[in-house]
Amino acid sequence: MPQFELANFVPQMTWLVLAFAILYFGIVRATLPRLSRTIDARENQVTGDIAAAEQAKQNADAMQAEYDSGVAAAQDTARGKLVEVRAAAGKAAEARLAAANEALSAKADAAAASLAAARSKALAEIEGVAADAASDIVEKLIGTRPAAADAAKAAQAALA
């Protein structure tokens, strides 16, 4: 094999080192700064994006806290108004109930008075009818009609 001969080894090694040096200094040295700039730009962009995301998260958290406090305040206000409305409705219902109770009481008193009047009238009429019936019975039994005052007195005594 010719590459292992000592006479050919040194010139091949020289050309290998020369080709490697040209490639390294010509290509790698020219592209390495551009590659480094690209990597740095991407790193800066990622760092900036992370910082912007953290800032956006802080803003969103602050907005969420503000929203939550607003909702809590609105709920508290609604609860307070609900209590007020319930109290007002309770007072209105109590007032209507009191008015209805007064009206019912007045109607009951009027009905009781009417009933008492009707009862006393009915009792008076019953006493009159009973006195007349007793007078008729006495007249049929003994042949003479008793006095109206005596018949009324006897009917009252019997009904009492």
Task: Specify the DSSP element, H or E, that contains 155.
Answer: helix 148-159
Q: Give CA separation, 44 vs 49, 56, 79, 97, in Å.
A: 8, 18, 52, 78
Residue 133: what pLDDT? Answer: 85
Residue 100: what pLDDT? Answer: 94
Q: What is the pTM of this model?
A: 0.43
Residues of the chain with pLDDT under 50: none
Domain count, the chain: 1
Helix/strand/coil for 143: coil
Note down the domain range covering 133: 2-159
Residue 103: what pLDDT? Answer: 93
Residue 119: what pLDDT? Answer: 87
